[in-house]
Amino acid sequence: MTTEADGNSLIHLYELGKVFYTEEVETHALSGINLDIRSGEFVSIAGPSGCGKTTLLSILGLLDSPTSGRYLLDDEPVENLSAAQRARIRNEAIGFIFQAFNLIGDLTVYENVELPLTYRGMGASDRKQRVQAALERVGMAHRMNHYPSQLSGGQQQRVAVSRAIVGKPLILLADEPTGNLDSKNGNAVMDLLRELHDEGATICMVTHDPRYADVADRSIHLFDGHIVSEDDAVRAHELEEAGFDLHEHGSA
């Protein structure tokens, strides 16, 4: 893999690393990550707790910065952007879906979905059109005047998906989007993500569940901060459960 992205890469990581420092401990959360995500792909990032999944997603979403390596987003290097530049890109190019939904409790469903567009300075008429379309897409337009506390977990996550897509981002980043849901609602959210992907959305999803990892077109398996396998996260999980040392052998 080269330091430059190929023409089809929306995200290009080259030898990416992340180290957390304390007074006594140096923790290598990510090491030597080389990864390309192309426009229109559905990629899952799987692995056990503490393997670096959420750290990687935070870097992809410009919520954190790598310690080393290169990150190109839509052919533009992002490692050295200012805080204001990073915030603008997060608002315009990246849609976030969190495990805990992260809806604002004293705002209605409509207002929660509208908020990213308000930060853009978009006019009221355009905001209304975008919000209504996004809520209709996830089947929640009939609840637009409700508050998050009046919704089930599955409904809250649908609203969170609506908020993520309302700005028409380049990529959706989903961090354990089914983690707080029962299996029925989890499956429904996964069906929704797959439908969005079928309509052209680029999605990168972190999950610890091999069933959901297998829904993606391509699966990346992390172990101790390293990519140990691609395209067969379920098999890697099975090897790990059987006691096979993925980190030692390098690939499942």
Top-level class of domain 39-65+80-249: alpha beta
Q: Where are the domains of the chain?
A: 39-65+80-249
Task: Give pLDDT, residue 243.
Answer: 56
Express each pLDDT in 104-158 by its tens digit: 999 999 999 999 999 998 999 999 999 999 999 999 999 999 999 999 999 999 9
CA distance 227 to 33: 7
* Structural tokens at position 43: 């990629």
How far from chain centre, in Å, is Cα 166?
A: 16
pLDDT of residue 235 exceeding 60, the answer is: no
* Structural tokens at position 74: 């839509």
How far from chain centre, in Å, is Cα 98?
A: 8
Strand order in the sheet with 68-73: 26-38, 9-21, 68-73, 76-77
Q: Give the residue from 155, 193, 191, 188 showing the smallest Cα distance to 175.
A: 193
CB atoms within 10 A of CB 21: 9
